[in-house]
Amino acid sequence: MAEIRAFRGIRYAIDRIGDIGDVVAPPYDVIDGSMQRALYDAHPNNIVRIIQGIGNEGDSIDENRYTRAADAYRNWLEQGVLVRDRDDGIYLYAQDFDVSTPDGKQKKTRLGIVALVRADALGKGAILPHENTMPGPKADRLALMRHTRAAFGQIFSLYSDPTGQVREILAPVLDDAPLFTFRGEDGVGHSFWRITDQAVICGVANVLNDMPFFIADGHHRYETAVVYRDECAAADNEDWQGKPYGYRMQTLVNMDDTEGMAINAIHRVVVDLGADGVERLIRGIAELCDVERLPLRNTQWVLQELKRRAGRGAVFGFCHGACSDVHFLKLKRGVRASDLDGGNHSEAWRRLDTGLLQLILGRVLELDQETLAAGEKVKFVKVEREVLDLVKAAPDRAGFFLNPVGMEQLRDVVLAGERMPPKSTFFYPKVYSGLVIQDLRSF
């Protein structure tokens, strides 16, 4: 099972910085060009300069965004902008936020524990993935790790604690004033505490050390951490067990806390179908699915209808053309997902809405799974309104609205030894980088 431990984190000196919200950032993989520029302008010590630095024309092997990240990190330590905590500890990270549901806005608070977790190779320990990874992001994160020898953001993972043992142990900490709070531009509130009470730390560890952890966000960073672990062990000619680089900082959240967990759906838009592609798609869907056509009122109504119909199996909202109508699709009684799949996946995978839709599109459009997963033929969309905008922008497109994946569904797929279809889960909100930093050379 997992092994967690306390550490002496490196944090921004609040008396030097002021508002911590000016120097932290979302994870690197959601920072686009405009956000990157805004974070650069927000503060000269914003963590984006390390985790997602701007490349310059003329960059070389000796001067590039990774060398500049290492220089910034070293300089901030020397200048006292970043300081190391004196004592071993773990951290408590709360995020309060509004989440959109088919029934309107809902307020939630998610509580996470930031600690070091032994970096077992995926499939050989207690860390379980649910997504596949790509080589490009892993090479990028490995280059940053090699240059800085530090981790600036947490892997976001889930554990199962249906009785709330961990929350009960941590309850007294929440009565204390946090180290800092800030509110992001998206309205999400962030609060951060440090815990040095050994009784509390041991109590949390005793519960969590017996559990597997399911990675929610950070698959690329985690796989990179394992590669870096092995590189360091080989260079030192020693076992990585018990070494600082053999652990990785994670934010651990109780997947059974329904008051704090939020998984949003990621919808699909099929593009480049060709002159008669939409009609061919409609005919193919009609062969496999029962279709109910209704006037499209608005996207909120579509989501409400999907939720209402969800108890009767996977259901999708399908639109095309001017999107004046929505077609609600459900697999016909005589059509089995296993027949569409050919036995390539587990029953848990085939029960996913994202899995079944991938099988339907593969059969109707005669596309292999690699093409569907690549994101070229099928675009993944997080905002419902954008589905309509993308479909209306070209006549050879069609959109699909989905229900969000449930936590039990994710758990079932992972425990079956599989990974989810691409872009099945959108965990909200994101876990910020720069709250605390892990030195990979010492605890």
Check whether the bond before 429 is cis (ω within 30° of 0).
yes
Give the containing element (helix H, strand E) for 141.
Answer: helix 135-148
Bridge partners of 83, per DSSP, are: 11
Of the two residues 285 and 258, the one the predictor is more confident about is: 285
Name the strands in the sheet holding 267-270, side by side, starting at the edge strand that comes first in the sequence.
289-295, 325-331, 315-320, 398-401, 267-270, 378-381
Exposure on the CB side of residue 353, measured as CA atoms within 13 A: 27
Does the pLDDT value for residue 208 go beyond 80?
Answer: yes
Q: Which residues pair with 98 in a beta bridge?
A: 107
20 DSSP 8-state letter? G
What's the angle, vertex CA 70, arms to CA 21 and CA 151, rounded to 5?
A: 60
> Which carries the bigger pLDDT value, residue 374 or residue 250?
250
Question: Hey, what are 405's tokens?
Answer: 């994946």
Range in 37-41, 156-160, 367-371, 382-386 the model is least confident about: 367-371
Eight-class DSSP state of 89: B
- Cβ-contact 316, 274 below 8 angstroms: no
Q: Which residues 6+ apart lie within 8 Å of 168 measured at CB?
A: none
Q: Give per-residue pLDDT as tens, 306-356.
A: 999 997 789 999 999 999 999 999 999 999 999 999 778 999 999 999 999
As a dihedral over the C-alpha atoms of residue 25, residue 27, residue 32, residue 38, rounded to 10 degrees, the angle is 0
Nearest to 267 by CA among 354, 377, 164: 354
Residues 6+ apart with CB under 8 A from 51: 25, 27, 28, 31, 69, 144, 152, 153, 433, 434
Q: What is the pLDDT of residue 343?
A: 73
Instruction: Please give the pLDDT value at position 316.
Output: 98
What's the average model confidence in pLDDT over 84-92?
Answer: 97
Check pLDDT > 80 for residue 54.
yes
pLDDT of 61 reads 93
Residue 364's pLDDT band (cuts 50, 70, 90): very high
Give the pLDDT confidence score for residue 185 in this predicted structure: 87
Write out pLDDT tens, residues 221-266.
999 999 999 999 999 999 999 999 999 999 999 999 988 999 999 9
Sole residue written with tokens 């033929």: 377
pLDDT category of residue 80 using cuts at 50, 70 and 90 = very high
- The Cβ of residue 82 has, within 10 Å, a number of other Cβ atoms equal to 24
Angle (nearest 5°) at CA 357 between 351 and 359: 85
Q: How confident is the model at residue 152 (pLDDT cuts 50, 70, 90)?
A: very high
Asked if 141 and 236 touch (Cβ cutoff 8 Å), the reply is: no
Average pLDDT, the chain: 94
